[in-house]
Every structure is written in structure tokens, then in C-alpha cells.
Amino acid sequence: MKDQSPNSWEARADAHSFYGFTDLPTIENRGATVLTHGSGPYVFDVHGRQFLDANSGLWNMVAGFDHAGLAQAAKDQYDRFPGYHAFFGRMSDQTVMLSEKLVEVSPFESGKVFYTNSGSEANDTMVKMLWFLHGSEGHDQRRKIITRKNAYHGVTAVSASMTGKPYNSVFGLPLPGFLHLTCPHYWREGQPGETEAQFTARLAAELEEMILREGADTIAGFFAEPVLGAGGVIPPPEGYFQALQPILQKYGIPLISDEVICGFGRTGHTWGCEAYGFVPDAIISSKNLTAGYFPMGAVILGPQLTQRLQAASE
């Protein structure tokens, strides 16, 4: 029940804060949930009520809400050096070490990392990198981005355009040139009598048709979550990435694995692409990258994209 007093935390939350992804009339009737702290997988509200946070924050609090080691590491670093950028050839020692570690645990033999403040921004950055790269290689027209319906890639104008959800139409999104394939959801999208393998083959054919219809030399990249997360926790049908990747390779289209949810163990492997047996051209990370203790995203480029970007930048 909603605490009606104007000085309640709930009323104060409503009075001066917007919520994201929230139907405001519903919350105005029910009242906000104002939280004070957490312990393990639990969070506690201003009335002392305990909740199991089944969403793990926004899928990101994978180490729980009171991991002493992470809190101490953050404090030690704030005491030593509270923050620094990586512009103009400068970089903190911690960034050097983190990149070494990320490339080491990545599925890539070699690669490079570019940091952002969120996964949305990491997806935007990856799109800009692809546009820059193709342009520098003489393919200015390679700008279209392919994703899937029900995909979730973020909240910025570009990553929301990549997101295959109808709610983005209220913003007039997607922007032109952002294309969405059928959601790889066998149970919902499979046709009567169609086997899972036939479903996979149909989706692969759909990808190739889209590429040929649009013109292969207009496509900058293909982005996919190994398991669609916010779109409904949808694992791909059998053999999906094995069927799609050769088509992408045939037309020179980089495959970007959005591992913002799947990364760091969510599928029982370090990366979702490992769980589904493919090596992408780049990985997008955030959320579990810091277990939610700090907002940060990363673009992890594999060897080919690293080399091409390096050459483009020269």
C-alpha cells in the first residue's frame, strides 16, 4: 500500500524524480519502492522490508549487493586516483591492467579494448567505429546496421534504433538504416510443422535475402545478443550462429556479440558466444563487467577489427 503522507519517501520520489521504463500512472497508484541497502541477493526498503532482487538490479549485480572485496577495491582506488580519461594518449595504470585482463579472458587471440560509461554507449561506439572503418576503407555507403526484433541494445538514439522493440516508435526511432530480422524464438516464431533446424535455415535465408535486397555494400555490421535478454530471455535455435556467421563473412559484414547480459558467466561460460560456439569480430560489454559497482562499458575488438581500425586511424 502506498504511504499517502507528503513527506513519505514514496511521495518524495514521485515529486522530484523520473523513473526509467515505468508506467507513471501505475507507480503513482502503487507508490515507488525506495530502497536503502542490500545484502547478497536481497534489497531492503525504507520500511525495513526485505526483497529478493530477482532481476539482480538491472541484470548487473552478479556479485551481490555487499561484496566486501569489490567495495574495498573501489575505495582503495578512489583514495589513490579517483578517475582519469584515456584521451590524448593518456591512461591510468589500472586501465592498462584491465585491458590486458579483458583480452586475456576474451575469445580472441589478440585484441584491444575501448572503454565507455555504459553498454548503450559501447554499442554506439561500435557503430561509429564501423562507420569510420568502412568509410576509411572507401566504403562510405556501408552504414546500415542489422539486429533482430526483440533485441535490446540500449537507450541512446543509436542503440535504441538497434533495439527491436515497438516502444521506441514514440521517439520516432529506429533511425533510417537500422534493420530488424525475425526474433530467433522457435517457440513463438516457428511455423506449424517446422523443425528447429528448418526454423534456423529459414532465419539464415532471411538474413541473406535482406543483405541482397539492401545491397551487401550498404551493411556496416550485424549485432546480436547470444541469448536475447530484456526481450524475453530467448536462447537461439539450434545451429543459429553457425548458420548466420558464414553468410555474414561471405558479404564482409562484422558480427558483433552484445554480451552486456551474457558476459561474465551468465550462461555458465565467460561469454555467451562461447556457450553457443562462435567467435564474433567484437564483443560489447557492460553491466557484469563491474558487477554493477561502477557504471562502465567496453568494446573489445578482435584481431581483424583491431588491425583494420588501427590502419584506418593512420
What residue ranges bind ligand PLP (CB under 6 A)? 118-120, 123, 152-154, 225, 229-230, 258, 260-261, 286-287, 297
3-state secondary structure labels for all residues of the chain: CCCCCCCCHHHHHHHHCCCCCCCHHHHHHHCCCCEEEEECCEEEECCCCEEECCCHHHHCCCCCCCCHHHHHHHHHHHHHCCCCCCCCCCCCHHHHHHHHHHHHHCCCCCCEEEEECCHHHHHHHHHHHHHHHHHHCCCCCCCEEEEECCCCCCCCHHHHHHCCCHHHHHHCCCCCCEEEECCCCHHHHCCCCCCHHHHHHHHHHHHHHHHHHHCHHHEEEEEECCCECCCCCECCCCCHHHHHHHHHHHCCCCEEEECCCCCCCCCCCCCHHHHCCCCCCEEEECHHHCCCCCCCEEEEECHHHHHHHHHHHC
Residue nearest to ligand PLP (CB): 119
Q: How far is the CB of 169 from ligand PLP (least distance, A)?
A: 19
Considering the complex, state which of residue 220 and residue 298 has its C-beta at the smaller distance from ligand PLP.
298
Considering the complex, state which of residue 10 and residue 227 has its C-beta at the smaller distance from ligand PLP.
227
Q: How far is the CB of 64 from ligand PLP (least distance, A)?
A: 19
Considering the complex, state which of residue 32 and residue 230 has its C-beta at the smaller distance from ligand PLP.
230
Considering the complex, state which of residue 120 and residue 245 has its C-beta at the smaller distance from ligand PLP.
120
Q: How far is the CB of 286 from ligand PLP (least distance, A)?
A: 4
Q: How far is the CB of 121 from ligand PLP (least distance, A)?
A: 7
Q: How far is the CB of 229 from ligand PLP (least distance, A)?
A: 5
Considering the complex, state which of residue 154 and residue 236 has its C-beta at the smaller distance from ligand PLP.
154
